[in-house]
C-alpha cells in the first residue's frame, strides 16, 4: 500500500533541518503521525505546516534533547497528543571538527552532550513506550543516526568519530536487551549529505575543508537518507536491517 506506516506514531529528533526534517516528512507521507523535536520552534512549525498541507499529522515540540527532564516532559506530551510511540528516530547530532591541539573543549562538550547524552535521553524517554507497542504485537523501532565517521580515520574528527562509534556500538548492544522484546534497533551510517551540518563547525579551516569536499562530488540529499530510514521502518516486523551505510556513489 502507499501508506506502510499508517497507524504508527513516530518521534524524530533533529526534525528542524536536514536528515531529520526530510525523514519526518517522509514518515508522515507514509502514514505515520510524527512528533517533531529540535530546539528551533519556528523551523519545526514550518515542517508541521508542510506536513499538514500534505494531509499528514505532525506536532512541533521544541525541545533541547540534552535536557533530560525536558525530553521526559516532551515524551508525555507526545503520548497525550499523538498516542503511544512505536517509531523513534534519534537523529539529532552535531559535528564540530577541530585539531586535538586546538583544545576546543566547548566543542568536545557540545558533541558529547548531544551525540551521546542526547541520544541516551531520547532512548530513556521512549523505550517504555516501544516495549508496550512491541508487547501489543505492533512494530517497534529505535533507529539512530551514526555516520561512516564511526569507522573511518579522519583528521580532526577525534571527538565526533568517537561519539558516532558509540552510537553504532550502542545500537548493537541494545539489541541484546531489546531484540528479544521484539523492538527493532538499527542504525544508519551516512556518508556526505548536503545539510546544515558543516555550518556549525567553529574552526574556519575545518569548515572550508568540509565545504570543499562537498562541492567536489554529487553528495546525498536528506531525502535519499529519509527514504532509506522509512524503508528500514516499514519492512515486516520480524526483519531488522540493523546497520545500513549509505554513501554518495563517488565517495570512497
- Within residues 34-93, the interface with ligand NDP by CB under 6 A covers 38-40, 43, 64-66, 91-93
Complex with ligand NDP: residue 129 or 145, whichever CB lies closer: 145
* Interaction between residue 122 and ligand NDP (CB under 6 A): no
In the list 11, 18, 27, 61, the residue contacting ligand NDP (rule: CB under 6 A) is: 18
Among the options 89, 108, 126, 160, which is catalytic?
160
* Interaction between residue 197 and ligand NDP (CB under 6 A): yes
In the list 9, 61, 114, 140, the residue contacting ligand NDP (rule: CB under 6 A) is: 114
Beta-bridge partners for 193: 220
In the list 139, 145, 171, 228, the residue contacting ligand NDP (rule: CB under 6 A) is: 145
Complex with ligand NDP: residue 79 or 246, whichever CB lies closer: 246
* Interaction between residue 19 and ligand NDP (CB under 6 A): yes
Q: Which residue has the cell 528479544?
A: 180
* Interaction between residue 17 and ligand NDP (CB under 6 A): yes
In the list 5, 9, 11, 20, the residue contacting ligand NDP (rule: CB under 6 A) is: 20
CA atoms within 13 A of residue 200's CA, in its CB half-sphere: 14
* Interaction between residue 206 and ligand NDP (CB under 6 A): no
User: DSSP letters of 159-180?
Assistant: HHHHHHHHHHHHHHHHHHHHGG
SS3 state at 201: coil
* Interaction between residue 156 and ligand NDP (CB under 6 A): no
Residues 6+ apart with CB under 8 A from 178: 127, 130, 131, 142, 185
Length of the chain in terms of residues written: 252
Active site annotation includes 160: yes
Q: Are 103 and 75 in contact (CB under 8 A)?
A: no
Which region among 4-12, 15-23, 177-185, 230-238 touches ligand NDP (by CB under 6 A)? 15-23
Residues 76, 103: Cα–Cα separation, whole Å: 39
What order of strands is seen across the sheet that includes strand 184-190? 57-60, 33-37, 9-13, 87-90, 141-145, 184-190, 243-246
Q: How many CB atoms lie within 10 A of CB 50?
A: 15
In the list 98, 121, 139, 147, the residue contacting ligand NDP (rule: CB under 6 A) is: 147
Catalytic residues: 160
Which residue ranges make up the site for ligand NDP (CB under 6 A)? 13-14, 16-20, 38-40, 43, 64-66, 91-95, 114, 118, 145, 147, 190, 192-193, 195-197
Amino acid at each position: 500500500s502507499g501508506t506502510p506506516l499508517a497507524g504508527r506514531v513516530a518521534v524524530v529528533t533533529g526534525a528542524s533541518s536536514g536528515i531529520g526534517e526530510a525523514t519526518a516528512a517522509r514518515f508522515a507521507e507514509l502514514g505515520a503521525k510524527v512528533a517533531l523535536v529540535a530546539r528551533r520552534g519556528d523551523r519545526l512549525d514550518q515542517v508541521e505546516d508542510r506536513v499538514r498541507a500534505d494531509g499528514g499529522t505532525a506536532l512541533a515540540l521544541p525541545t533541547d534533547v540534552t535536557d533530560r527532564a525536558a525530553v521526559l516532559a516532551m515524551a508525555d506530551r507526545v503520548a497525550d497528543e499523538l498516542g503511544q510511540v512505536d517509531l523513534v528516530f534519534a537523529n539529532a547530532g552535531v559535528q564540530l571538527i577541530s585539531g586535538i591541539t586546538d583544545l576546543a573543549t566547548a566543542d568536545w562538550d557540545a558533541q558529547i552532550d548531544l551525540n551521546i547524552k542526547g541520544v541516551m535521553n531520547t532512548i530513556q524517554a521512549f523505550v517504555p513506550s516501544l516495549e508496550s507497542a512491541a508487547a501489543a504485537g505492533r512494530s517497534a523501532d529505535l533507529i539512530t543516526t551514526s555516520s561512516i565517521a564511526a569507522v573511518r580515520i579522519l583528521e580532526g574528527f577525534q571527538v565526533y568519530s568517537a561519539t558516532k562509534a558509540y552510537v553504532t556500538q550502542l545500537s548493537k548492544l541494545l539489541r541484546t536487551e531489546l531484540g528479544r522484546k521484539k523492538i527493532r534497533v538499527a542504525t544508519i551510517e551516512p556518508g556526505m549529505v548536503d545539510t546544515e551540518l558543516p555550518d556549525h563547525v567553529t574552526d574556519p579551516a575545518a569548515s572550508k575543508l568540509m565545504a570543499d569536499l562537498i562541492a567536489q562530488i554529487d553528495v546525498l540529499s536528506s531525502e535519499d537518507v529519509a527514504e532509506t530510514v522509512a524503508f528500514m521502518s516499514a519492512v515486516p516486523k520480524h526483519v531488522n536491517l540493523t546497520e545500513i551505510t549509505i554513501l554518495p556513489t563517488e565517495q570512497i
